[in-house]
Amino acid sequence: MIEGILIEGLIYGLMVLGVFITFRILDFADLTVDGSFPMGAAIMAVLLIKGVNPVIAVLLSFAGGMTAGLITAVIHTKLKIPGLLAGILTMTMLYSVNLRIMSNRANLSLLRVPTVFTWLHEVTGKFMNPELAIVLFLVAVVLIAKILLDLFFHTDFGLTMGALGSNPQLIISQGMNPEIIKGVGICIANGLVAAAGAFASMYQGFADVGSGTGIVVSGLASVMIGEFLIRTNKISLLTLRVVLGSIVYRMLMYFARSYGYLINMSANDLKLITGLLIVICLIISRTDIINKWQKKKSRKAYASVFGASSDSAQAAKKCSDKDINGGAQ
């Protein structure tokens, strides 16, 4: 159970990192994610069936996702189409593109095709739990992606990208082209999403053209959950909380699937649960309930400490008064 939650959380953590870049850093509502995720899965499946090395297949999936992001960026920046509509247009077009990649088939099976995960099963099955080996492998993959992102956002270009979402006028005043910066960010984000789709197809054993439905919503929910876990402005902790939010989200979905029957809920209600989760996160963030509760708690703790100290001071004063009166007598 725990291994399965961690595996899903880490795989989709790559996708959530991409959603984090577009929605939080660039302040760009990118719906291309719903198309680039199955695109990465489709590219991976086709290349594995043809016997291509999995590492090369993942890199090509990443490149395919970047291409999808580039199309969205061009539609948005050059054709002056709103970002939300640009993402919807690209996502719609990618459905047909993904079908073309998979030779007009909606589903490709990888059950009899060797992948990274089947290799890990064969190599580590003799001396350790294969699921644990997959977890360790994915931890290494996500850690590499996180470190590379942290290093990128510490460069001048990365810092400029970070400022673009909150203050685009500052970038323009510095003589930089915000269209190029935004385009690079969208490309990187969709590349990560496509890489997540590639790993998901290997783990699940198939690639499906409809696997990207609702991916952006789950990614946004994971980002918001991570924001409640760690409150910080450091980029290293921001990327860490994104991955942790993905794991927590997958854990919540697991419990909803396993124990939802107790409240008459089924797997068909997972999208409803995700939507309600996002609504609750938005309400909490807008009303700032957590900060208010923490301040109220700290005030109570301060009042109790201060009240205890004042009581002890009064008791000490009474004792000293008694001693003085006793001495005078």
pLDDT in tens, 161-209: 888 888 888 888 877 888 899 999 999 999 999 999 999 999 998 899 9
What confidence tens digit (pLDDT) does each residue in 253-290 have?
888 877 777 777 777 777 788 888 888 877 876 776 65
Under 8 Å between Cβ of 191 and 18? yes
CA distance 265 to 271: 12
Q: Which residue has the tokens 């000490």?
A: 316
List beta partners, residue 108.
207
CA dist list (Å): 135 to 121, 194, 223, 242, 329: 12, 20, 21, 17, 80
Residue 196 has a pLDDT of 94
Residue 328 has a pLDDT of 47
Residue 57 has a pLDDT of 93
Tokens linked to 157 = 């270009």
| Residue 136: how many other CB atoms lie within 10 Å | 14
- Find, among 3, 1, 2, 12, the residue nearest to 249 by Cα: 12
Residue 123 has a pLDDT of 84
The pTM score is 0.84
Whether pLDDT at 212 is above 50:
yes
Alpha helices per DSSP H over 50-129? 54-77, 83-101, 116-124
